[in-house]
Structure 1
Amino acid sequence: MNVRELLARTSSHELTEWMAYERVTGPLDMRLRSEISAGIVAATVANSNGAKRKAKVSDFLITWHKRRKTVHEMWQEVMKANTALGGSIKRPE
């Protein structure tokens, strides 16, 4: 069953129940559970070896969902790249 079929068969109420269950028991996806377990081990090792600052589990987790940039932020990057490459802006007369 694909995601579209699953969402078509799952009510909003049931989806909310699953979300609440996951908050209580932890992630349902075993890959994510493994990633968290590895993060715990990595933080423990770093902290036991005299890390300069106390390591947190989150320091060792992969960031899957990065914040999307605003249109203004993207425009600023384009303008910075344009300037770095020696470009100029032509304004209509």
Structure 2
Amino acid sequence: MRTHTSAELTEWMAYERVTGVLGPERQDILHGIQTAVIANASRGKGSRKAEPKDFIPEWDQGKRGPMSWEDMLAAAKAYTSRVGGTDHTTKGGARGDA
């Protein structure tokens, strides 16, 4: 993350919205699909057909829906800290005052 700009991160976020999730979430989806296929090939007559969502764990069971900019900023700062990055904001705000 030290070599990536916020513009690059924004581009990746936009790309993910167009192509679907990237990273570990995408792997969960792919494994859910594969497991559902295997389960359906092995199921007995009369049993319920398995769906990929049956095998995809829900890692974040917190609140859903759009995040406020304050929550996004706090999440970005927490992630930056976890990966050893540096916080260059001055006020921690948005709209050019950071």
TM-score when normalising by structure 1: 0.47
TM-score when normalising by structure 2: 0.45
More helix by share: 1
